[in-house]
Amino acid sequence: EPEAIATAWITRHPAQMQVVLGTTTPERVSAAARGADVELTRPEWYELYRAAGHPVP
């Protein structure tokens, strides 16, 4: 689920960012909450970062 992956990525950001959902739809809230169960390795985190078009120094 894209929401879960996005939540997992944000909560594992080095700046310790927090997720702010812009929805009240129960299904989307549940999908985002499942991000807590997604384990991203550091290489996976950076792979998503690069896929978004950001260079890695």
Reported as a single tens digit per residue, the pLDDT across 1-52 is 899 999 999 999 989 999 999 998 999 999 999 999 999 999 999 999 999 9
**Is residue 57 over pLDDT 90?**
no
Q: Is 37 helix (H, G, I), strand (E, B) or coil?
A: helix
Task: Give me the pLDDT at residue 40, please.
Answer: 94
Q: Is 28 helix (H, G, I), strand (E, B) or coil?
A: helix
What is the C-alpha separation between 12 and 6, in angstroms, rounded? 10
Helices in 1-57 by DSSP H: which ranges?
2-11, 26-33, 42-51
What is the C-alpha separation between 34 and 28, in angstroms, rounded? 10
